[in-house]
Every structure is written in structure tokens, then in C-alpha cells.
Chains A and B, each alone.
Chain A
Amino acid sequence: MTTRDLVFTAVGVVTALSALLSVTTKHVVHAALWLLVSLGSLAGAYLVLGQELVGLVQLLVYVGAIVVLVLFALMLTRAPIGPHAEIDTPWWQRVAGALLGAATTVLLGSLLLPLFSGATADLDTPTTTTPEVAQAVFGTWVWPFELLSVLLLVALIGAFAVSRLVLHREGAEDRRPVTAGAPAGERR
């Protein structure tokens, strides 16, 4: 066991435990905070494996933006302090969730473990991987990358359209879109 193995194990255990806690806790906001710990320590796992850029982007995108949005949305709607019976799930849903999670784990494990069981990587000679990642994303994989960005753009425009959608009902023809002309922040 090298130091790197020890650190990796520790980070992995933290990731797994906080992920478990985030789906089992009965406090909504605590679930989001545990998710944050889980995603953050996953970034740590990438760092230990020598993939600096992937780890940092994980931190920037998931911890710094996505979970902040999750917390934001939670607190805007309903986020009581303490456990809340109303937003609890029935037992069959929990069983189904546990089964699905276990099945996915087994599937991924049986697929990935044989595939990469013999693979080795030299982590002790420091290499600059950032240009390689850039080369791969914008060279080899540029078309999938561009397609993904178009997909995200479509989703963005769709969300914008839905947020301005006005449902016309009988006797309410004169309703105007209340948000027309307002900047994004005012609708929050």
C-alpha cells in the first residue's frame, strides 16, 4: 500500500458514504449537502488518479454550479429544517430504488472490472495532461462535443420558451405574458 492507495481509499469511502447518506437522510437540504460532499470528494478521487483537469472541472461544474442550483431551487420552494413526513417516500419506492441501484452497480462492475482489470498507469512521473485532454475534446471528439453543445442549447431555449408560455383558457384571452421584457432575474 502506497500513500496514494491510502488516500484513494479514504476519498473513495467518503464519496460512497456521503452518497449513501444523501439518499437515506430524511432532511431534504441535508440530502443536497451530502450530495455536495459526494461530488466534491469524487473530484478528489480524480485528483489522486492524476487527472487534475477533470477533477477541477468536476469541482467547478458540479459543486460550484449544479449543486448550488439544486440548493437554490430547494430553498425557493420548500426546505423545512428537520425531517418532513410529507416529502417522504413509500416503502415500495425505497425497495425499488435499492434494487435498481444494486442492479446498476452489478452491471457496471461486471462490465468495467474485466475490461480494465489489467490496465496500469504510471502516476509518479508528472505529466501535463491538460493539452492532451484539449486535443482529444477539440480534435478527435469535436463532432460529438459540438452535438452535445447543440443539445444543451436546444434545452436552454426550450426552458426559456416554457418559462414564457402562457396557457390560454376560455374567457382569459386577454392575458398577456407577464414576464415579457423582464430580465431573467426578475422572475426568480
Chain B
Amino acid sequence: MSDLSPWLEVVLRAVAVLAAFLVLPLLVGQTEHKVMAHMQGRLGPMYAGGFHGWAQLVADGVKFVQKEDITPARADRWVFRLAPFVALIPYLVALAVIPLSPRVVGADVDASVVLVLAVIGVGIIGTLMAGWASANKYSLLGAMRAAAQLVSYELPMVLAVASVALAAGTLSLVGIAEAWNPWWLVWQLPGAVVFLVAALAELQRPPFDMPLADSEIVFGAFTEYTGLRFAFFLLAEYAGIVVMSLLFAVLYLGGWSGPLEEWLGWLWTLLKGFLVAVVVIWLRVSWPRMREDQLQRLAWMWLVPMALFQLALTAVGVVVHP
């Protein structure tokens, strides 16, 4: 697209990223409905609209739009209203720099892997704002749990990604995926496991959904939210799944490498990412919720040492076989 004027190109790229941001999370949401329904024998999601319950997501959307937008009387109005957007926008930025193939990328940034990690860390502030501004003790408790969880799991995640960057010798996602070869599936396996678990925890998906635990703190930081603002938080969660899955596919599964990668590279990345998203959903269906102390123990006693071990392994590999 180099023959277009630079401004038009920027606008086109922004529109394309926005479209992906609006479509992919809904696709994951629809998949979650269906996969969960099949795995757990749920009847509801298979009913709406007739064939295979295809209209369930549409029904959900209509329900969210119809609901009244309530701000609690004692809440901190501005912070309360701003929080959903603070939670959502970081994932939009992250999606813009994740490449589907060397040519299909929203914005080709030099140190894109650092950018993705940096903006994902910002998303938690939305949850903290929501929990505090709601003037509700359950919300505050949920926000506290979320923050404790994210601070703990950010470290192993950054270490795991650092190991991949070390192996590839670059901080650019495109460069990392191009340096990938099938041996990485073995070599980077501990790091991949650490990354997947830490990503689940950062997304606060079951089994790491202690911050939302509906049997004890209603719905955590999102208790007081209704209608579209609540839907934005949900959208942020699904956008998070998309970002993490694509990131996993690019970092550990070689992204666009596959048959006919000149033309179909973007499709391979999407398929691999989708596969990871299904695994994320699968884990939700099959694991019970972890208790807060178990959650912290897992991060500090298992994931951090594993990530450090992976870092050492990568360093040895890079030095011995450059």
C-alpha cells in the first residue's frame, strides 16, 4: 500500500484494526457459547434463533443495549464512567501491533513486543478505577484481588516473553515469528506453558477468576455496572482473549509459517490463534476456581522459577548454538 498517500493509509489501517477489534472478540464470544454448551450440556445457548442457537449473541447484545445505564448515587461519577474505556482501549492498541503476517499488521513498530506487554499492563487500571469508584465493598474487594493477581502474574509473563525475544534476538513481533522454527516447540515449551497460564490469570478467566468470584463477591469490580458499560467490560475480556491467543500464536507457534505462507500467512496466524482461544475456553469449562492463596502460590512458587529456568535454558541455547 506504499503508493497511497500516508494519511489515507493511516486511516485505512485504523479502520481495519477497528473492524478486527469489533469482529474477532464477538467470534470468540460466539465460540465460547457453543463450546461451553456442547461440553457442559447447556441447553440455553443452543435455542435462540433456531439452528444451533445462532442468534444467542445477538440476543445478548440487544439485552445490553436495552438496559438502563445506572451510576450509583454515592459513586465517583467520572471515574466510574471512564473505567470501562480505560479497560478496553489498551487491548485495541495491542491488537494494532500484533502481526497476522509480515504485511498484514496494523502498525509495524520496532519494539512491538514491549509495546504489547506495556499496554496490557495498563488495562488493570480500568478494573481498579471501576472497583474503587463504585462505592461498594464487593467491588473494592474484587479490584484488590484483580490488582494483586495482575501484579503477581505480570512478572512470569514478562520473563517468558523475554526468553522468546532472547531466542530470536529481536523485540519485534515480526522478527520473532520469522526467527521461529519447529524446534522452538520443545526449546521454549516451559516458557509457553508459563505464558499461557499467566495470560489466563491476566484475563481473569477461570480457573483464575477469583476477582469476579460470583459466589462470594457478587461480580467483583463490575458489580455496579449495567447495560453498555458492563458490556464494554465483557468486550474487554474477549478482546483480551483474542490478543493473548494471537500473541501466543505469533510467539510460540510460528505465526504465519505454514503451507503457502506467501498468500495464506494471515490465515494460519488466525487459525492458530483461534485454536489457542478454544483451549482458553476449554480450560474455563474444565477447571474449578482457585483460592486466592493457591493463586499467589502458583505464581511465585511455580511460574516465576519456571520462567527463570526457561530464561537460563534460552541463554545457554543462544550461546551454544547461535
Contacts and interface: CB of A to CB of B under 8 A. Distances in A.
Given A52-B110, A64-B122, A185 B128 contact: no
B119 interface: yes
A80 B128 CA distance: 14
B120 to A, nearest CB: 8
Nearest to A30: B79
A169 interface: no
A8 to B, nearest CB: 19
A75 B114 contact: no
Q: Is the interface of B mostly helix, strand, loop or mixed?
A: helix
B115 A56 contact: yes
Contacts of B171: 53, 130
Contacts of B301: 183
Interface stretch (B38-46, B140-148, B272-280): B140-148
B315 interface: no
A49 interface: no
Nearest to B128: A71
B292 A185 contact: yes
Contacts, number: 102
A60 B122 CA distance: 8
Interface string B99-114: 0000000000111001
A28 to B, nearest CB: 10
Given A65-B154, A81-B75, A188 B148 contact: yes
Interface string B231-262: 00000000000000000000000000000000
Contacts of B152: 184-185
B114 to A, nearest CB: 4
A72 B119 contact: no
B88 interface: no
B129 A184 contact: no
A33 B293 contact: no
Contacts of A182: 293
A183 B75 contact: no
A179 to B, nearest CB: 12
Contacts of B300: 183-185
A49 to B, nearest CB: 15
Given A76-B144, A81-B133, A130-B110, A186 B296 contact: yes
B213 interface: no
B159 interface: no
28 contacts: A29-B76, A30-B79, A33-B129, A40-B122, A56-B114, A57-B114, A60-B158, A64-B118, A64-B121, A64-B122, A65-B121, A68-B124, A68-B151, A71-B125, A72-B151, A76-B144, A81-B74, A81-B133, A81-B135, A82-B76, A130-B111, A130-B171, A183-B296, A184-B152, A184-B300, A185-B293, A185-B297, A188-B148
Interface of A: 27, 29-30, 33, 36, 40, 52-53, 56-57, 59-60, 63-65, 67-69, 71-72, 75-76, 79, 81-82, 128, 130, 182-186, 188
